[in-house]
A = this chain, B = another copy of it.
Amino acid sequence: MVSIKDVAKHAGVAISTVSKVLNHYPNVSEATKKKVNEAIAELGFVPNAVAAALSSKQSGRVALLINLSTQRQAIDEISMRYLSGAISRAVELNLDVITVFFSMIRDKTREEIIRYFQSQSIDGIIIFGMSREDTVLHELVESQIFKIVLVDAPVINASTSCVWVDQEQAQYDVVRHTIRMGSYPYKRLLYIAGKKNAYVTEGRLRGVERIAEEMELEVTVRDGEFSELAARNITLEEGEAADIIVCASDLMAIGAMRALMDMDVFHPVCGFDGITLMGYAGMQMNTAKQDFAAIAARALEEVNRLLAGGEGEEVIVGHTLERLQYLDIIC
């Protein structure tokens, strides 16, 4: 393995000089910089990230903390898009990411988690979908030991940023659009909400309440827990009485739609997320589409900024509306 020492010898300079051009220090003359870079190219030298980390006490490693439920297809897709977006951008930013599942740190204390990350010399963490009840994670955020970026959770402090799409606006938009496109006046709206302690659930709820007030709709809110089955059952109970059914996720929208089919009634249904799976379910509905890969990429940029010494901030990512339909062929 070719090391910085070899480069120094080859270029006829000292080790520290090589290190300086490597790390873009200001005080190096163009002439020696050129010599060093040539030596690097000739030898095919790549800095040893491990040694650099040990020496500088900064690893540039960030952990992707993700909530994978192996039971749910839709979750797979969302997680995968998050992961691929994050990992791709990480390469560009020259950060090193490792993936950690929520399940691996459940029933661990704050101290254990901190030590785990420290032993891995991780200095940045991106948490996807922390919910209100993840108390240990909240403690971790408050401890400010690591640079943290929260996706879809609204906590900020000096070393914590959050990035998310405006859930309220997205939910508002998709309902408004659906109603405007509809042919007859809607009166009663059934809203099937997401998991109770998820921050996104609250934002989306506010969105549907806002549009309901504006359009003078009578709203029934039920707890769907992001479960297709729950959404189905709720629809069987209350779907008949509603003029429009709005769900806080595409998966629940599938459940609702299937229930309506069984009941042989038709009402428009709104989803949320914009997952490909919808194309296979053979149904049409409007949805608020989130670009998960872009969100994750943005989160990585944010953690990179924090690692460089930046302050925590809030980042809002845009959303789009989409009419999902039966796709004859996906690929």
Contacts and interface: CB of A to CB of B under 8 A. Distances in A.
B98 A48 contact: no
Interface string A289-316: 0000100000000000000000000000
Interface stretch (A72-80, A158-166, A209-217, A264-272): A72-80
B96 A120 contact: yes
A182 interface: no
A229 B328 CA distance: 9
B59 A84 contact: no
Contacts of A258: 328-329
B44 A115 contact: yes
Q: Is the interface of A mostly helix, strand, loop or mixed?
A: helix
B331 A229 contact: yes
A46 B116 contact: yes
A77 B70 contact: no
Contacts of A54: 48, 50-51, 54
A31 interface: no
Interface residues of A, number: 60
Given A48-B121, A119-B47, A254 B280 contact: yes
Given A79-B80, A88-B103, 13 more contacts: A46-B116, A48-B118, A49-B120, A51-B54, A70-B293, A73-B280, A73-B330, A76-B80, A88-B104, A232-B329, A254-B280, A280-B280, A281-B281
28 contacts: A1-B118, A44-B111, A46-B118, A48-B118, A49-B119, A50-B50, A51-B54, A70-B293, A73-B279, A73-B330, A76-B77, A76-B276, A79-B80, A80-B80, A83-B83, A83-B99, A88-B103, A91-B104, A96-B120, A98-B98, A229-B329, A229-B331, A232-B328, A251-B331, A254-B280, A280-B280, A281-B281, A281-B282
